Amino acid sequence: MIGRSLVHVSLAAFSAAAVLSQASAERLPRTAERAYEAVSARFDERDAMSVVSFMDQYWRVAGNPGFNASIDHIRDRLVAAGYRADSSAAAGRVRVEEFANSGRGWDYRVGTVEFDGVAEPPLLSRERDRVSLAIHSFSTPPGGIVAPLIDIGRGPPTDYQALKGAIVLGDAPLGRLWQDAVKRGGAAGVISTEIAPYIRPADSSVMTEEQKDVLQWGTVPYDATAKAFGFKSSWRAANRIRERMKRGPVRVRVAVESSFYDGPNRTLIAEIPGRSRPNERIVLVGHVQEPGANDDGSGCATLYGVAHALLSAIAAGELPRPERTLTFMWVDEVRGSRQWITSHPSDARGVQYMFALDMTGEDTGKTGGTFLIEKQADPSAVWQRPSDPHTEWGGGDVDEKSLKGSLLNDLHLAVCLRRARDVKWEVRTNPYEGGSDHTAFAAVGIPSLLNWHFTDRYYHTNQDRVDKVSAAEMKNVAVAVATSAWLLASADDGDATVVLNIIAGAAARRLAVERTQGAALVAQAADAAAAGATEQRVRAAWIKWYEEALDSLERLPVGGTSDTLRSRIAAARHAISLQSKH
């Protein structure tokens, strides 16, 4: 598990919780507090849950009916909330953009696996397992097919010729099993039992009954020549098959009715235009595709709730219009964000900051997925630190030279901790790992972060349903994201001074932590000289990061930066630079 392998150093001494707790008492700028109060009062939990419930009906693949229905449903709700299709609307506007779909829309009505000639409940079915049939699976002939079932276990197969026309059960990842059995062996289809270990343990003796029925959905390549199918299996279904195979050869009947769609991909965009700097934007994104209620029905619903609450507060006179434009987007994950960046180059150049909302509504008592801020890539994404453990997702390959400090991470953390004080909300952070829409914006140099929950025991499974979603958790995320976005859109010089104090305090805490944990790492290293050189690089990277974060404050006030604020930034920058001499 990347980021949690530094076993020689006590995590307790450098825990993220300890670092966060020191920041929990910082006050927010006046503009932020005003937005915080407005959204806290106006976010409609029941309305947000109804969006999740609507999206939970569908397996949403870009271009398919469920994806399009979700886009249309949220658009209609935004229109009812006061957003207008008129592009010149001053208060709020909404539109749907279409572009060529790089894949194909897909959905299915029937996906059943059962023993042939035996009156028993199906092994796998849409009615019970919901997402067991793999995306891009082709239909069988009417009435289905009957074929021998071959179990290759962990694989690879020992006799590819024996697979021709068979259905192959295996424990390998779905994509690898597909390549071995269908592409190389000519199998009619595959059934994969593969699943993340944090969702279901390998040892059946310690599985709960729920874990025995859980499966993670998957995708096979679109292949109009093979016209085959793939399934993901629960432990219980695979165990039934394997117990039956102990008594002799097994034949199974598979029936699939699926459809492909060639329509366009679609992005829903709502905006509250800025008053004084309309060409500068704060962007908030949720992704529509995937079948989960939490992933990402909750992110889409949270984003809808933010857009609704802010426009409602403006209409009621509780908030003025923002100075910079607020742009809300519901997209096909990553692809939709990249498309917007490419097709709107002028708008993209004006993006100041970006927030991704992905799995924002988890009932943490049920899912186990704690709320996390996945930070804009900072030095903790380059060097594994005991104070900043990665999640089960694991770290990516971040180049030290790509790091560019900004105020985003520490400002948003301070806002989230403000919410935590009010409602006893658990807030944690993790280093940049990538995988959602913040990745697309980060790739073009825009400071971006992710609001999410992990490690989630229902992640990408048939059991990610609306009963695992918490309206209160969606509200917590909504209040925090809306507050941060509003401040970034409307901050004045006084607000920037308060943010300066937040950043300076965060810098002091980070450098103190790095001194302590760096010394411990060097002391326990086999090569103290090499470890010492690494720690010097880490420390220098953090000093550079926070110098750049302070520099970014000059762009925060919408009315321009005063000489007083510049002097304070310079003083704080000088104090950090002095740390390089200690």
121 and 247 fall within a common domain: yes
**Helices 297-315 & 45-55, crossing angle to 10 degrees?**
140
Q: Write down the pTM of the prediction.
A: 0.95
pLDDT at 577: 84
Residue-level pLDDT at 89: 78
Q: How many CB atoms lie within 10 A of CB 393?
A: 19
Tokens of 330: 């519901």
* Nearest residue to 293 (alpha-carbon basis) of 132, 468, 134: 468
- What are the residue ranges in the chain where pLDDT is below 50? 1-18, 21
pLDDT at 413: 98
For residue 581, the model assigns a pLDDT of 62
Is the domain of 79 the same as that of 138? no
pLDDT of residue 476: 98
Q: Hey, what amino acid is at 256?
A: V
Same domain, 175 and 98: no
Cα–Cα distance between 94 and 81 in angstroms, integer?
11
Which residues are CB-neighbours of 143 under 8 A, at least 6 positions away?
Answer: 255
Specify whether 185 is located in the same domain as 68.
Answer: no
For residue 62, is it within any domain? yes
**Cis peptide, bond prior to residue 156, ω within 30 of zero:** yes
84 and 113 together in one domain: no
- Indicate if 465 and 483 belong to the same structural domain: yes
How far does CA 300 lie from the centroid of its chain? 11
Task: Please report the pLDDT score of residue 91 as a whole number.
Answer: 87
User: What pLDDT score does 564 carry?
Assistant: 97
> Residue 219's domain is classified under what CATH number?
3.50.30.30
Are 316 and 255 in the same domain?
A: no
Residue 397 lies in a domain: no
Provide the residue type at 437 as one letter.
Answer: D
Where among 464, 491, 518 does a domain terminate?
A: 491
Task: Out of 229, 261, 293, pick the residue that ends a domain.
Answer: 261
Can you give the residue range of the structural domain that contains 226? 105-261
- pLDDT given at position 90: 81
Q: How many beta carbons lie within 10 A of that of residue 577, not counting itself? A: 13
pLDDT tens-digit map of 314-370: 999 999 999 999 999 999 999 999 999 999 999 999 999 999 999 999 999 999 999
User: Do 357 and 285 fall within a single domain?
Assistant: yes
Find the CATH number of the domain harbouring 441.
3.40.630.10
Same structural domain, 316 and 453: yes
- Claim to verify: residue 535 and residue 459 sit in the same structural domain: no
Does 561 lie in the same domain as 484?
no
- Tens of pLDDT along 280-300? 999 999 999 999 999 999 999
Nearest to 381 by CA among 542, 155, 205, 208: 542
Same domain, 512 and 552: yes
